[in-house]
Amino acid sequence: MSGTALALLGFVAMLALIAARMHIGLAMLVTGAIGYMLMQSPYALFAYMKTNTYHQFANYTLSVIPLFVLMGAFAERSGLSTALFRAASAFVGHLRGGLAMALIFACTGFGAICGSSVATTATFGRATVPEFDRYGYDGGFSTGTIAVGGTLGILIPPSVILVLYAISTEQNIAKLFMAALIPGLLATGFYLITIFIVVRLRPKVAPVHAPVPWSERFALVVKVWPVMLVALIVVGGIYGGIFTPTEGASVGAVAMLLIGLAQGSLDRVAIVGALRQTAETTGMIFIILLGSEVFNAFLALTQVPTNAAAAISGLGLPPYLVLVTLLAFYILLGAVMDELAMLLLTLPVFFPIIAGLDFGFPADEVAIWFGILVLIVVGIGLTAPPIGLNVFVISAIARHHPIKRTYVGVLPYIVADVLRLGLVIAFPGLALWLVRMLS
Amino acid sequence: MSDTARTRSPVIVWAERLGIFGGCLSLVTGAIVTASVIGRWLMDSGVPGDFEFVQMATAVSVFFFLVSCQSHRGNIVVDTFTGFLSERARNRLDAFWDVVYGLVMAAIGVCMVEGTIEAIRSHTGTMVLQLPLWPALMVATMLLFVLAGICFWTARQLVKVRS
């Protein structure tokens, strides 16, 4: 059997196993190992697995993942989400749709500490749903906003998805974090405009309430400034080249712990909870990483990624058509598959295709720009029907609001996301300007 | 598997403790790197070989995390295409895959035993600190067998509790 046929068979077998409830990391690992064995020999597989698992996990760049997860877990357990939401709502909460706007601001701030969209959604879901309900906000509108606000956890750097993209495509994490900032802030702006339009068209979804006195507003800001300072140091330090992403994540995790202890917001139970949460999240990510490593080693042996890139380049298709097709495929796949696994599975094939096309600017910039576009479509996949992981997370928290209403609430934001995606495709400078400035 | 049944089980408690220990290891890693950054900033000298410690500690901590993650069956499963099955059938299917997961991890563990023996024989160590690699490999290997055991245990719980 040819390498291409074996690779296709491997893909089909893996998707079948995933559909049959085998967990994604294991499905990749099993099909990759069998494929590797068929391409080489059982002894070659044995030799490959002798220390490969250990060395895969001993990658210095990967150490950034548990540390960023830990930083986010400490922030979550210390009640940062509630503090941020209260501070933001003190300033804009009295406007029509103000609580939704406050949520978006708070998620943006939280996104600078936490690199996970699910964690952001869950944290803000628990903290803000009662507030939205208390002020009489429409359930679909509020839960839809929380689901979308959760994506800011990955859209605003640091972002676990970007770290995985960087590792998978051998790109510079710091440059990807720089590139993500403007599109991330653009997301915040687009979501605020969406809220403004929605409440203009349907004022009943978001009643107004009395403003908070100025003295109280500043007291609430004082509570969150140390944490926001940590975010600034971590992200600013990485941007400025003062420290590597691993060092930034280390400083952030330790600083978050110390601030939590100093403020009395992190007790023993909260710390243990954060460590346990880190264990579960990181374990889940690393088994997928191991599976994708083995599966990609098998794919590399079949030479399918290289051949696919050469074949598509040879067709002479317009580069932007190929790009838009791949992004549309990502949106469709993201609707039925976990985003993290989707990326690790497809990038070894898709990335060489994109890298082989001429977009009129250097290949390393194309790689970074593509990473940001992928990040945006991953964000869309997290909220778009029929699955949308963030929608599931919020509906599990706010069970009294039907999931269908949440999907309706999410729709205007998806329109905004697609517009933003189009903007970053049309103007790559939105992602690359800061990279060019700071590099 | 009900949460109550799980939280009462000593297996879960110990698996969680292993995960928490792995988390502590990550935190210590973070503290050492932070000390290195501060040292570099204040005295122009970081902790020597800190990146080697980070690599080793991260690798070992991940094996601890895998055990903790499986004890709660925290790995990502796509349930879109099996929604039509009864809960009992889904649990049986999950239990079957847990057994497969356990067997795969045990097989990797066997491979790693060989890798550990080779590391001992060849005195493989890190570049700067000259730390021997085999203790880390040995801990990782043992944790893979623990993970395999946890997989068989979760499979048994799935079959037992819901049947």
Per-residue pLDDT reduced to its tens digit, A380-426 = 988 887 777 888 889 888 888 988 899 999 999 999 999 999 999 99
pLDDT at position B1: 47
How many angstroms separate the CA atoms of A172 and A91, rounded? 37
Interface test with B, best of A14, A45, A53 (most B CBs within 10 A): A53
User: In this predicted model, what pLDDT tens digit does every residue of A381-391 receive, in sequence order?
Assistant: 888 877 778 88
| A53 contacts: CB under 8 Å, gap ≥ 6 | A290, B108, B112, B140, B144
pLDDT at position A320: 94
In this prediction, residues A258-268 reach a mean pLDDT of: 91
B72 φ/ψ angles, rounded to the nearest 5 degrees: -105, 10
Q: A55-64, A125-134, A273-282, B39-48 — which is least confidently predicted?
A: B39-48
Among A279, A59, A72, smallest CA distance to A159 is for A72
pLDDT at position A435: 92
pLDDT at position A76: 86
User: In this predicted model, what pLDDT tens digit does every residue of A269-278 receive, in sequence order?
Assistant: 999 999 999 9
Interchain pair B90, A21: CB under 8 A: yes
Q: How far is B89 from chain A (nearest CA, A)?
A: 11
Return mean pLDDT, chain B.
Answer: 89
Interchain pair B93, A246: CB under 8 A: no
Interchain pair A275, B111: CB under 8 A: no
Q: For residue B31, which residues of chain A lie inside 8 Å, CB to CB?
A: 250, 254
Q: What percent of chain A has pLDDT over 90?
A: 56
Three-state DSSP string of chain B: CCHHHHHHCHHHHHHHHHHHHHHHHHHHHHHHHHHHHHHHHHHCCCCCCHHHHHHHHHHHHHHHHHHHHHHCCCCCCCCCCCCCCCHHHHHHHHHHHHHHHHHHHHHHHHHHHHHHHHHHHCCCECCCCCCECHHHHHHHHHHHHHHHHHHHHHHHHHHHHHC
Restricting to A residues 222-281, those with a Cβ less than 8 Å away from any Cβ of B are 243, 246-247, 249-251, 253-254, 257, 272, 274-276, 278-280
Q: How far is A351 from chain B (nearest CA, A)?
A: 24
User: In this predicted model, what pLDDT tens digit does every residue of B101-129 receive, in sequence order?
Assistant: 999 999 999 999 999 999 999 988 888 88
How many angstroms separate the CA atoms of A332 and A386, rounded? 10
Q: How far is A388 from chain B (nearest CA, A)?
A: 12
pLDDT surpassing 70 at residue B7: no
Of A18, A33, A67, the CB nearest to B26: A67
Q: Are A145 and A411 in contact (CB under 8 A)?
A: no
How many angstroms separate the CA atoms of A223 and A227, rounded? 9
Instruction: Give DSSP secondary structure letters for A241-270.
Output: TSS-HHHHHHHHHHHHHHHHHHHT---HHH
Interface test with B, best of A287, A345, A392, A393 (most B CBs within 10 A): A287
Region for residue A345 given its phi and psi (left: phi exceeds 0; alpha: psi -120 to 50; beta: otherwise): alpha
A392 at B interface, C-beta within 8 A:
no
pLDDT surpassing 90 at residue A127: no
pLDDT at position A257: 94
Return mean pLDDT, chain A.
Answer: 90
pLDDT surpassing 90 at residue A428: yes
A26 at B interface, C-beta within 8 A:
yes
User: In this predicted model, what pLDDT tens digit does every residue of A324-348 receive, in sequence order?
Assistant: 999 988 887 776 677 777 888 888 8
Distances (CA, A) of A47 to A52, A57, A193: 9, 17, 56
> Band of the pLDDT at A80, cuts 50, 70, 90?
confident
> Model-level pTM?
0.87
C-alpha A104 chain-centroid distance: 16
> Band of the pLDDT at B3, cuts 50, 70, 90?
very low
Q: How far is A26 from chain B (nearest CA, A)?
A: 7
Q: For residue B74, which residues of chain A lie inside 8 Å, CB to CB?
A: 280, 283-284
User: In this predicted model, what pLDDT tens digit does every residue of A355-378 receive, in sequence order?
Assistant: 888 899 999 999 999 999 999 998
pLDDT at position B2: 45
Q: Which residue of B has its CA nearest to A282?
A: B65
Q: How far is A64 from chain B (nearest CA, A)?
A: 9
Restricting to A residues 277-306, those with a Cβ less than 8 Å away from any Cβ of B are 278-280, 282-284, 286-288
pLDDT surpassing 50 at residue B5: no
> Band of the pLDDT at B8, cuts 50, 70, 90?
low
Of A23, A70, A338, the CB nearest to B23: A70
Interface test with A, best of B76, B87, B120, B145 (most A CBs within 10 A): B76
User: In this predicted model, what pLDDT tens digit does every residue of A220-244 receive, in sequence order?
Assistant: 888 888 888 888 888 888 888 888 8
Interface test with B, best of A57, A71, A342, A387 (most B CBs within 10 A): A57
Q: For residue A51, which residues of chain B lie inside 8 Å, CB to CB?
A: 112, 115, 118-119, 137
Q: Which residue of A has its CA nearest to B61?
A: A279
Q: For residue A70, which residues of chain B lie inside 8 Å, CB to CB?
A: 23, 26-27, 30
- Segment holding A97, helix H or strand E: none
pLDDT at position A224: 86
Of A53, A63, A337, the CB nearest to B29: A63
pLDDT at position B6: 47
Interchain pair A251, B33: CB under 8 A: yes
> Band of the pLDDT at A438, cuts 50, 70, 90?
confident
In this prediction, residues B29-57 reach a mean pLDDT of: 89
In this prediction, residues B136-141 reach a mean pLDDT of: 96
> Band of the pLDDT at A9, cuts 50, 70, 90?
very high
Q: Which residue of A has its CA nearest to B124?
A: A51
Interchain pair B66, A283: CB under 8 A: yes
Of A46, A254, A286, the CB nearest to B30: A254
Q: For residue B7, which residues of chain A lie inside 8 Å, CB to CB?
A: none
Interchain pair A57, B30: CB under 8 A: no
User: Dihedral sign, CA of B112, B117, B122, B126?
Assistant: positive
In this prediction, residues A12-21 reach a mean pLDDT of: 91
User: In this predicted model, what pLDDT tens digit does every residue of A161-214 receive, in sequence order?
Assistant: 899 899 889 899 999 999 999 999 999 999 999 999 999 999 999 988 888 888
